Amino acid sequence: MVLVDDHEMVRTGLKAMLSRFAGQVRVVGEAADAATARRIVAGLNPDVVLADVRLSGESGLDLCRDLVQDSPGRRVVLLTVYDDEQYLFQAIQAGAAGYLLKQIDGPELVEQLRRVHAGGVVVDAGLSARAGASAARLHAGEYWPGAHLGLTQRESEVLSLMVAGSSNRAIAAELVVGEETIKSHVRGIYRKLEVTDRAGAVATALREGLFR
């Protein structure tokens, strides 16, 4: 298994926890960023990649998508603090084989990794239940503008501010997040709307009548 997390303390803690299960799981490599992860995974071809959703400079979701596209049988599990069904939906769309929360204990993590290695898809139980309810509401059209196009609620908020003419910096200030986070959301918007730039995203939003 390869670990991907931009916090050294997290990687160290995971390795220490998993070392108690040496006969069942073995960490063969680790990376602090997506670029390093791609290189290591390509060289080691691990059975499973365990990655955070948020990485410095790039989304773990984008990393997951790239790894799965490069090798369709690749098993990628996202391990995160984000107890958010919208991230779960994005993870599944990216081809993830699992979405687990960092509050998981050692024995449960090992069991879930075993299931993934055997070909299963694993999701935190509590999050899975909420996601089912959210999916039903989404199908009924009860969500935010752009939900039917695959946009998360935060991406919809970002797109609305793009339509209003706000820069990435201004959007970050408005939503009280970092500018890199906004850039990540913008990349997600472009991908889901199948456009390549801000003008295309705004044009699509207006054409679809997302914001009135």
* Average pLDDT of the segment spanning 195-209: 89
Three-state secondary structure string covering 9-29: HHHHHHHHHHHHHCCCCCCCE
* Residue 100, beta-bridge partner list: 79
Question: Cα(first)–Cα(last) distance of the chain, in Å?
Answer: 48
Structure tokens at 171: 């959007």
Give dist(CA 135, CA 62) in Å, integer: 22
The per-residue pLDDT for range 99-127, each reduced to its tens digit, is 999 999 999 999 999 999 999 999 888 77
What residues have CB less than 8 Å from 183, skipping those under 6 apart? 168
Distances in Å between the Cα of 186 and the Cα atoms of 81, 116, 146, 202 are 22, 31, 14, 11
Residue type, 125: A
pLDDT of 133 strictly over 60: no
pLDDT attached to residue 211: 79
The per-residue pLDDT for range 137-162, each reduced to its tens digit, is 555 555 678 877 888 888 989 999 99
Distances in Å between the Cα of 86 and the Cα atoms of 8, 81, 105 are 26, 13, 23
The pTM score is 0.66
pLDDT attached to residue 153: 83
pLDDT band at 182 (very low <50, low <70, confident <90, very high): very high
For 99, the enclosing helix (H) or strand (E) is strand 98-101
Q: Which domains does the chain have, with CATH numbers?
A: 2-131 (3.40.50.2300), 143-206 (1.10.10.10)
CA Rg value for the chain: 18
